[in-house]
Amino acid sequence: MGLFDIFNSEKKTKNDKSQSDSKIDLINNKRIAIFGFGNQAQAHALNLQDSGKSNIVIALREDSKNISKAESKGFKVMKLSKAAEWADILMMLITDEAQPEVYKAHIEQYVTEGTCIGLANTINLKKQLILFRSDLDVFSVSTKFNGDTLRSKFKKGGAVESTWTVHQNNSGQVDEIAKGYLVSVASGSPHVSENTEDSSPENSNKTKKQKEAISKDENPSKGTVGTGFFVNNEGYVITNYHVVKTNENNTKIMFRDKEKDAKMIAFDEILDIALLKVEVKNKNYIKFSNNSPKKAQSILVAGYPYGKYISDDLKITSGIINSLKGIKNNTSMLQIDATVNPGNSGGPIVDKDSGSLVGVATMKLSKDYTKAAFGVESENTNYGIKSSQVKDFLEANNVSVSIKKNKLNINELEESTVFVFS
């Protein structure tokens, strides 16, 4: 389980008001097409709209379940290819898995020279699954929080730390367009920064300290290890993205003492969750609750701390929800005091009475780091992603979930939770 460094030393560039205004002005008259209308896409579209951008359309497939949702928010919906033809700025906020096919079929042949394409994740660029035309501008952006938190902070007038990277600059204006886009999405944030590495000795020392405060779910013989769980009977598994990101093409699960190949379907790097598909017939899976989590709620955490190298038995720890917010008031997360260790990452956090999903274990504070920072070692200060975020992520990827109203069944929990390694 990755340990979180509470004192993030990421470089910031503070911009004054006039600089921000000039960046916003650059995209004021641009036609912006948002591809997709999931959690992140909806936040981008609404924030852009509230920032005064009027030329916004939502690009969706003709059979998309999100058409009515987008129209109910006051947005015009276009077919994918029509939106590509129309747009000056095209923001791809559909699943990473779908992006190569959508680009090839609905974007490449329709966009005009100089169109600027934005990405929220660069995995398809890194893998060369998308080769953008050389006459196009390409940038990527990243905000610190998921769509719900991004939207919430925007509505309250708060700024969200964000970064951008330029990948193709055919027009010579991509840098400013990316900044303008982020300023509009992140509430005019002075915390927008270029995603470049500072090689100064000072920064190197900070980076070194950060790395020392981070523990990876690694085993010398198996690589990265963690936990996952079935969310329906169709072989779909949720885990942490950091468990599978380094070797996603060779990810496996252990199911009924047999290794099974797991295919990456989608992921959200900001939330740190990944959706896997396994060709198995599983009858047991974790169900969701209609009830919001509560402080002091009794919970269980299931997983494989330290992999399966101490024993191959599923480990279950108990505790309570300490807070409904994560580090830096992240409302996408929970704080829990149930014991977790490396290998628990991606495991289900369930209500102790009903067995319904409360969250997904994802990180803990480093004892060494808190001792260095505060003079004391942290005790069971652990975090999970709220189940509502997981549910939204699954629905955005057209994966069905069920609601749990029964009492906890330990056998069902054991059958639903799997060992993940890559």
Q: Is residue 204 part of a domain?
A: no
Q: Are residues 265 and 380 in the same domain?
A: yes
Q: Are residues 167 and 37 in the same domain?
A: yes
Q: Is residue 351 part of a domain?
A: yes
pLDDT band with cut points at 50, 70 and 90 for residue 212: very low
- Do the Cβ atoms of 293 and 359 come closer than 8 Å? yes
Q: Return mean pLDDT, the chain.
A: 82
pTM beyond cutoff 0.75: no
Question: What's the rounded mean pLDDT across residues 299-316?
Answer: 88
Neighbours of 253 (CB within 10 A): 23
The residue type of 193 is S
Q: Which residue has the higher pLDDT, 15 or 250?
A: 250
Specify the pLDDT at position 358: 96
CATH number of the structural domain spanning residue 30: 3.40.50.720
Q: Are residues 186 and 225 in the same domain?
A: no
Q: Which two tokens stand for residue 177?
A: 């367009």
CATH number of the structural domain spanning residue 300: 2.40.10.120
| Residue 4 pLDDT exceeds 60 | no
Q: Are residues 178 and 223 in the same domain?
A: no
Q: Is residue 122 part of a domain?
A: yes
| Residue 206 pLDDT exceeds 50 | no
| Residue 289 pLDDT exceeds 70 | yes
Specify the pLDDT at position 403: 85
| Residue 372 pLDDT exceeds 70 | no
Specify the pLDDT at position 82: 97
Specify the pLDDT at position 329: 84
Counted domains in the chain: 2
Q: Are residues 230 and 185 in the same domain?
A: no
Specify the pLDDT at position 19: 40
Q: Which residue has the higher pLDDT, 186 or 33?
A: 33
**φ, ψ (nearest 5 deg) of residue 316:** -125, 125
Q: Are residues 174 and 274 in the same domain?
A: no
Q: What pairing do the DSSP bridges indicate for beta strands 357-364 and 2-3?
A: parallel
Q: Are residues 144 and 16 in the same domain?
A: yes
Q: Is residue 168 part of a domain?
A: yes
In tens, the pLDDT along 74-92 reads: 999 999 999 999 999 999 9
Q: Which residue has the higher pLDDT, 95 or 230?
A: 230
pLDDT band with cut points at 50, 70 and 90 for residue 369: low
Specify the pLDDT at position 36: 95
Q: Which residue has the higher pLDDT, 329 or 394?
A: 394
Percentage of the chain modeled with pLDDT above 70? 82
Q: Which residue has the higher pLDDT, 2 or 317?
A: 317
**Angle in degrees, 0-180, between the axes of helices 39-50 and 147-155, rounded to the nearest 10:** 20
Q: Is residue 281 part of a domain?
A: yes
Q: Are residues 234 and 125 in the same domain?
A: no
Phi-psi region of 168 (alpha: psi -120 to 50; beta: other; left: phi over 0): beta
CA–CA dist 39, 271 (Å, integer): 11
| Residue 6 pLDDT exceeds 60 | no
| Residue 211 pLDDT exceeds 50 | no
Q: Are residues 166 and 260 in the same domain?
A: no
Q: Are residues 65 and 137 in the same domain?
A: yes
Q: Are residues 242 and 179 in the same domain?
A: no
Specify the pLDDT at position 231: 96
In tens, the pLDDT along 308-358 reads: 667 889 999 999 999 999 887 888 999 999 999 889 999 999 999 999 999
Q: Is residue 206 part of a domain?
A: no
Specify the pLDDT at position 187: 61
Range of the domain at 160: 11-194
Q: Is residue 234 part of a domain?
A: yes
Q: Are residues 280 and 340 in the same domain?
A: yes
**Angle in degrees, 0-180, between the axes of helices 387-396 and 39-50, rounded to the nearest 10:** 90
| Residue 417 pLDDT exceeds 80 | yes
Q: Is residue 5 part of a domain?
A: no
Reduced 3-state DSSP string for the chain: CEECCCCCCCCCCCCCHHHHHHHHHHHCCCCEEEECCCHHHHHHHHHHHHCCCCCEEEECCCCCCCHHHHHHCCCEEECHHHHHHHCCEEEECCCCCCHHHHHHHHHCCCCCCCCEEEECCCHHHHCCCCCCCCCCEEEEEEECCCHHHHHHHHHCCCCCCEEEEEEECCCCCHHHHHHHHHHHHCCCCCCEEECCCCCCHHHHHHHHHHHHCCCCCEECCCEEEEEEEECCCCCEEEECHHHHHHHHHHCEEEECCEEEEEEEEEEECCCCEEEEEECCCCCCCCCECCCCCCCCCEEEEEECCCCCCCCCCCEEEEEEEEECCCHHHCCCEEEECCCCCCCCCCCEEEECCCCCEEEEEEEECCHHHHHHHHCCCCCCCEEEEEHHHHHHHHHHCCCCCCECCCCCCHHHHHHHEEEEEC
